[in-house]
Structure 1
């Protein structure tokens, strides 16, 4: 081969060596990338285990819940109620409630989920869960190990462990100084706001004990007559007109000015009547 032919050939080889290497795509089908979380088997929760958030709190900056009068509505206050096959009843008189026992806390697994009265749980708020106190009430909690105290608002049910008396929010556990231990011996004491604001007239909250609902007015009237004899509380019939003539006549005991009065009347009623009344709360915004 002549030198004149060899030189162009070498030039072509050098250019090919310096050219960029093309990226070859895999000919196999490409799996789509999903941004949807994989389903879990943890019920309504996205986490299997509970825990603390990544953001740590300074206990010195955590403010107590501020006790104030709140209407104790029917939501979250069913009594009795059943969890895991066990029946629980709310306290007949919570105003003098005081107890010592073990408290725990709950955090990220439950954050953002509904509490027993329909509110949204936030691990950064000063709230708590209790099995038998009405919702909402305010409780002073004292850590018996270190003497720290916190005031929390009860808006949830639990803990359903026989060795614990209260579940506190993560923030409350930090303020009380036991967020790293998980549990602590505590004393809990109710802060009574039930009678701190009694409003009269159209703005008043009215509590009733509903004992029955009937399609036939005669049946409602008969129960009203039976309960009225010697009960000592008003017994009335609240009727509503339904569609297609489906009227409903509800027999109620009351009204009462607050939740505690209704609970006291419930004890008297249970001595004369074997049924299970349920709480009805009427407010100016209901």
Structure 2
């Protein structure tokens, strides 16, 4: 009897671990969230990570088993049972090597380098467009997992999807999640947004500075990231966009450390996040875009006064 009780407890705990998937406690990055505890980037990150294409929406049958209400960590969730329009704004996080190769709630194998995501209630499988309002950049992901099970998060992105939105460095950020319905797929409506295109664009720094590597406190090596794809221009106006540049490095680790340091120091001064922009074999640490040169100069002066960091202007 004791053995049977012990076996039952072990079985229940194993099942809870499978269902909770993305529900591990998040790591702390200055209170802003980030990847999950004991998680992080993989050891062999593909060099062409930024070139991985969006998921291609196709009509797939929603598995009935994934439509049942469920409870995780005391919170009940009711999945959407209809193929209907859905829009949600909130914080996104990401999950990486800790879950790489494990089974998703959909029964598939999680690949951190595939354009997928976890959502607590969207149908499995289904597709969604995820947009970062600060930059206007969007990606398309395939929803094949459940999570995140935190009240402050609405979606868990795969590592590559988060990288393409520039969310690896800050760890999390505000996004807009929009379901792509079967009707959208039939009519190709998800293709009409110019932000879906992966544009490269040129970078012109004013001036270009190879800033010395900063003297920083020890940074968790799991924060090493590849550069996200370049930000797309504002759709329709064709105007150059103005950024603050804090340094340019040949080493991605140095750029990552500086970006993390800036986000910790400047988080209360500016609503923009520092991100990494690759160009000409350099990893440029930039913040923006700003609406005008005057706004960028004002931000630069405030940052220098409060933190001692001295950014230059960059236009692309």
TM-score (norm 2): 0.45
Structure with the higher fraction of residues in helix conformation: 2
